[in-house]
Amino acid sequence: MKAYRVSGIAPFGSMRQKFSLEFAAENKEDAEHQAYSVIGSRHKAKRRSIKIDSVEEIDPRTSLEPRIQHHFREHIEAAGGRIAPEAEEE
């Protein structure tokens, strides 16, 4: 499994907005399928109305997504921890 970031444009309500989602997947096609599935189920958008601009493999240590951190927790610990900056609370 690898970590992927899927970016694109989809209809959210009455307007189209950019999105960026991160997934743990076997390959780019699987990550793309997961993006279609998540956006379709959450926002009732059809696959043909979702435009995916890029699917890129990312380092799991840079992800802030809890699902990615959990899935790759052993890999992150073995590599010395996260390299993404912590978000400060106000």
Local mean pLDDT, 10-residue blocks, the chain (90 residues): 96 92 96 96 94 96 92 90 64
CATH number at residue 70: 3.10.20.10
The rounded distance, in Å, linking the Cα atoms of 25 and 48 is 22
Q: What pTM was estimated for this model as a whole?
A: 0.84
Tokens 């959450």: give the residue. 42
Q: What is the pLDDT of residue 90?
A: 60
Q: What is the pLDDT of residue 83?
A: 79
Domain of residue 21 covers 2-78
Residue 87 belongs to a domain: no
Q: Can you read off the two tokens belonging to residue 33? A: 């399928």
Contact between residue 60 and residue 68 where contact means Cβ atoms under 8 Å apart: yes
Q: What is the pLDDT of residue 17?
A: 95
Residue 73 belongs to a domain: yes
